[in-house]
Amino acid sequence: MFDWLEMSAAQLGRGIGDGTIDPVALTQAFLGAIDSHNHRDRIYSKVTPERALAEAEAAAERARAGVRLSALDGVPVSWKDLFDSAGVETEAGSALLKDRVPGRDAEVLANATALGLVCLGKTHMSELAFSGLGLNPMTATPPCINDPKAVPGGSSSGAAASVAFGLAAAAVGSDTGGSVRIPSAWNDLVGLKTTSGRVSNAGVVPLCRSFDTVGPLCRTVEDAALMLSVLEGKPAIDLRGASLQGARFAVLETVALEDLRDGPAEGFERAAKALQAAGARLEVIKADEVTRALELSGVLFTSEAYGEWREEIEAAPHLMFDQILERFRAGNTFSGPDFVKSWYWLEEHRQRWNARIARYDAVLLPTSPILPPDAARLMQDQEYYVTENLLALRNTRIGNLMNSCGVSLPTGVPSCGLMMLGRPMGEARLLRMAAAAERALAQPS
């Protein structure tokens, strides 16, 4: 039974479909694992056993009747604590939203429920989703699977930990500047960043609406494709026959390969060799528009984030972690004309980028140039906090700025991910390439 906690969501779904796994027993196994885990309260902000068991019982009845709603009908998953869930606290990791209880589910949670997924509960996150580190002294900092002293990556920190520690079959998070991909990379998971506007943000606590996206954190690419399907309420992308033979990838040299720590450099080199061995062609490219776009990050992200939360923040700034408060307030240093002009420039950079990468199947770069930083040092050393937070998000932010879809894959080097960026709304092509890459990376070096 307890092998269930280590299986992929797709494997569990197939077991439910062929009658070898009972959704109620499966859900009870996950709930039991959560309750007995040493880090339960660092990973889950709220567990919802009554909802989970009721949904599991309904899934079991459908399975017996042969009328399952999806390939994941009856599979238990977790939800980042910024997805509204009816009657259950949704606080986005912030004391500013303490005791906030929405009256209805977020649209993606409603979609997933309608297709049979079981909601285990809500997971901890970075405060208001505004950090890539996953450090949150105001609520809880979840653990990293590879280093008990390190942060897990953010802002979907508890989402990643719930899957990595076997306390959910998959998780749903959000990605504004890397918040799905960083914790996925640092916890050896697959993380999918969707194109802005593809998956509904209705009922999701916002950070920067222009960049906010919803995406899954999973054990496999197959799981990511199936989770995307239920979040959208659409048929799953067909991954059958995916191959790297003849695939053409661009390796982004500009900025993305600078200042790599030893682990990420080793992981990226290993991944590049594995993809080439499987038949892919890799070409190094430079892209000045990436440099220019990254220079706009400060005005674009902080201005919008502070504009979104200024009233709540300034009404009770003492309720916030000082590093997050300072980051929000940085948005007050830019003018309205600066913000508008920066968006005009970003649109030009996006056009150049999409024209440059049009002939490639995906763009390759390390998910993060650094390993998970030490949590205690982050609390004591402000300069270290700022440096590591900016470096953590540097590469992933490229995908958000360019409105690319993206996926992070484990490279086989602990806490080091390979990021593949695709064209806007190109999730089908990207996930097929990722499935083939996943197989290549599983081969012995």
Q: Tokens in use for 201? A: 């943000």
**CB distance 94 to 138 below 8 Å:** yes
In sequence order, what are the residues at sequence separation of 6 or more whose Cβ sits closer than 8 angstroms to the Cβ of residue 347? none
Eight-class DSSP state of 120 = E
Over residues 46-68, the pLDDT tens digits come to: 999 999 999 999 999 999 999 99
> What's the Rg (C-alpha) of the chain?
20
Q: Please tell me the pTM assigned to this model.
A: 0.98
pLDDT tens figures, 16-49: 999 999 999 999 999 999 999 999 999 999 999 9
What's CA 156's distance to the chain center, in Å? 6
Residue ranges in the chain whose pLDDT is less than 50: none
SS3 356: helix
Q: What is the Cα–Cα distance from 414 to 180, expressed in whole angstroms? A: 17
Which of 225, 159, 235, 156 shows the shortest CA–CA distance to 192? Answer: 225
Rounded to whole angstroms, how far apart are CA atoms 120 and 23? 13
Q: What are phi and psi of 204, to 5 degrees?
A: -110, 125
Query: Which domains does the chain carry?
Result: 2-232 (3.90.1300.10), 248-296+321-441 (3.90.1300.10)
CB within 8 A of 271, min separation 6: which ones? Answer: 364, 409, 411, 418, 437, 441
pLDDT at 306: 98
Tokens 């918040």 found at: 179
Sign of the torsion angle spanned by Cα atoms 249, 250, 253, 254: negative
Is the CB of residue 183 less than 8 Å from the CB of residue 91?
no
User: 151 by DSSP, 3-state: which?
Assistant: coil
Structure tokens at 69: 């709603």
Burial of residue 310 (CB within 10 Å: 0-12, 13-18, 19+) is middle
CA angle 167–181–381, rounded 5-degree value: 90
What does the CA dihedral 251, 256, 262, 266 come to, rounded to 10 degrees?
Answer: -20
Greatest Cα pair distance, the chain, in angstroms, is 61
Q: Kindly report the CA angle at 180 between 357 and 146, in degrees rounded to 5?
A: 115
Three-state SS at 420: strand
Neighbouring C-beta atoms of residue 74, cutoff 10 Å? 29
Active site residues: 80, 155, 179
Q: Are 125 and 91 in contact (CB under 8 A)?
A: no
- Give me the pLDDT at residue 1, please: 53
Beta strand 213-218 with 190-193 is: antiparallel
Q: Which residues contact 315 (CB under 8 A, 6 or more apart)?
A: none
Q: Which of 227, 221, 132, 224 is nearest to 183 (CA)?
A: 132
**Backbone φ, ψ for residue 249 (5° rounding):** -115, 145
Distance, first Cα to last Cα, the chain: 32
Of 153, 197, 201, which is closest to residue 174 (Cα–Cα)?
201
Q: What are phi and psi of 183, to 5 degrees?
A: -65, -30
Pick the closest to residue 62 from 5, 124, 118 (CA basis).
118
Instruction: Give the integer Cα–Cα distance in Å for 156 and 417.
Output: 16
Beta pairing, strands 76-80 & 248-252 = unpaired
The predicted structure's pLDDT at residue 414: 98
